[in-house]
Amino acid sequence: MPRSLLSIAALALLWACSPASSQQSGRVEIIFLDVGQGEAILIRSPEGKTALVDAGPGSVAHVLARRYGVDSIDFAVATHPHADHIGGMVAILLSFPVRYYMDNGAPHTTSTYSHLMAMVQRSDITYLRATDRAVELGSVNIEVLPPPEDADGFNNRSIGLLVEYGEFRALLTGDSEVEELNHFLAAGVPQVTLLKAAHHGSRDAITPAWLAATKPQVVVISVGRGNSYGHPHEWALRLYDASAEAIYRTDVHGDITIRGGRDGSYEIETRFVPSNTEAVLAPGPSAVDPIEVRVSPTAPDEHAVVRNNTGRAVEIGGWGLCNAASFCFIFPDGASVAAGDSVTVYTGSGRGDGRSFYWDSHTPRWGDEGDAAILRDRTWDIMANYSY
Ligand SMILES: [Zn+2]
């Protein structure tokens, strides 16, 4: 089959793009979001074109919009259909215009997968299968490394992506295990600047031959704090450590941003934000917390209260008040809480007056048996949390 080249630069010229730091720096930006045990990677070209590789298990759409100012996705990729990679993809398709969607063409039996595919088919998104092709994301070239058709298990059919910007190269291979890494090796992989550890740093997803071929300077592991798989495995960490100059982990460093230059240089920035899980497990705030949240889950008057214990008014327009399932009420622009005062968010309908807000939901938003309320600011950092 002839190789095809897809140019998003040419096809998406009419798309408005938001200002991105990669545009100012003339670098490609690769951001590994801290999504707990799962994966979501945002790639931004110097021209502001965006690709999203996997969408984690949770509310990735909110984080992209609020923390990184994303308003459209040119190229979305689901490396393979496991929930820790596609759990947040439906919300992505609902939240942003998405131009192209690629998967490995291997169907899964879960409702998450069938719901997602139904959405792709109903929408005007162009579906692409992971064949031997290249995608031009502005001036960034993304080589698609197609998975073997007959591999064992979904992990070994993860789509591989080689991101190239001049001398800077990054290799992303989803949850590939040794079988698929050997398949990629046989097809040929170059030396890279950045290697994403396959399969969350599992010992079944690394070999000395893989590291000898890729010779990464930096390794990034996307992994959840205290996950039940024991990822990343000690043996894998030792191999990465012996090969690379630096290892970054989302469970330790939070969001990890790497900006690569045409000359192969790179810079790294990390941003630690407590994950939803941690917020849920954390004890409720004490009375001295500057901003407090309380929930009263009793029908028919279900509501949550946000209290400002500081001595000045706090602007909360654009902030989100979210439950443990990541359903969020977004405060309207201009909303604020006066010093020492509080505002109330009612679950049902009504007329807001600046101190009372209404979610307009017909169903409860707060669990009767226990839940978590997480208050996030405009950039989606956690400002307060409350669990009961
Ligand atoms: Zn995974």
What is the tens place of the pLDDT at every residue in 41-65?
Answer: 999 999 999 999 999 987 799 899 9
Is the whole-model pTM more than 0.85? no
Q: What digits encode the pLDDT tens for the residues 196-211?
A: 999 999 999 999 999 9
**What's phi and psi for 320, nearest 5 deg?**
-115, 140
> How far apart, in Å, do the first and last CA atoms of the chain sit?
58
User: Are 257 and 270 in contact, with CB atoms under 8 Å apart?
Assistant: yes
Q: Output the CA 207–ligand 1 centroid distance in Å.
A: 18
| Closest CA relative to residue 135, chosen from 148, 125, 145 | 145
> What's the chain's length in residues?
388
Q: Output the CA 11–ligand 1 centroid distance in Å.
A: 32
The type of residue at 333 is: D
Domain locations in the chain as residue ranges: 4-271, 276-387
Q: Output the CA 246–ligand 1 centroid distance in Å.
A: 22
**What's phi and psi for 27, nearest 5 deg?**
-125, 155
Q: What pLDDT sits at residue 66?
A: 87
Does position 15 have pLDDT exceeding 60, yes or no? Answer: no
Instruction: Give 121's contacts (C-beta < 8 A, 6+ positions apart).
Output: 127
Does position 285 have pLDDT exceeding 90, yes or no? Answer: no
**What's phi and psi for 140, nearest 5 deg?**
-100, 130
Q: Give the separation between CA 75 and CA 136, rounded to whole angstroms.
A: 10
Q: What pLDDT sits at residue 14?
A: 36
Q: Output the CA 158–ligand 1 centroid distance in Å.
A: 10
Per-residue pLDDT band at 22 (split at 50, 70, 90): low
> Which class is 4-271 in CATH?
alpha beta
Does position 11 have pLDDT exceeding 70, yes or no? Answer: no
% of the chain at pLDDT higher than 70:
90
From 270-284, 337-351, 368-382, the region with the lowest mean pLDDT: 270-284
| Closest CA relative to residue 53, chosen from 154, 144, 148, 120 | 144
Does position 276 have pLDDT exceeding 60, yes or no? Answer: no
Domain 276-387 annotated CATH 2.60.40.1260? yes
Q: Output the CA 102–ligand 1 centroid distance in Å.
A: 17
Q: Output the CA 372–ligand 1 centroid distance in Å.
A: 25
Does position 24 have pLDDT exceeding 70, yes or no? Answer: no
Average pLDDT, the chain: 89
Q: Output the CA 57–ligand 1 centroid distance in Å.
A: 10
Protein residues within 5 Å, CB atom, of ion ligand 1: 84, 175
From 12-16, 102-106, 231-235, 255-259, the region with the lowest mean pLDDT: 12-16
Does position 250 have pLDDT exceeding 60, yes or no? Answer: yes
Does position 373 have pLDDT exceeding 70, yes or no? Answer: yes
Q: Output the CA 26–ligand 1 centroid distance in Å.
A: 31
Instruction: Using CB atoms within 10 Å of the CB of residue 109, give its burial: 0 to 12 exposed, 13 to 18 middle, 19+ buried.
Output: exposed
User: Are 177 and 199 in contact, with CB atoms under 8 Å apart?
Assistant: yes
User: Are 271 and 381 in contact, with CB atoms under 8 Å apart?
Assistant: no
Q: What digits encode the pLDDT tens for the residues 215-248?
A: 999 999 999 988 999 999 999 999 999 999 999 9
> Residue with structure tokens 């990465």?
240
Does position 13 have pLDDT exceeding 70, yes or no? Answer: no
Mean pLDDT computed over 6-24: 48
Q: Output the CA 120–ligand 1 centroid distance in Å.
A: 22
Does position 280 have pLDDT exceeding 50, yes or no? Answer: no
% of the chain at pLDDT higher than 90:
70
Q: Output the CA 317–ligand 1 centroid distance in Å.
A: 35
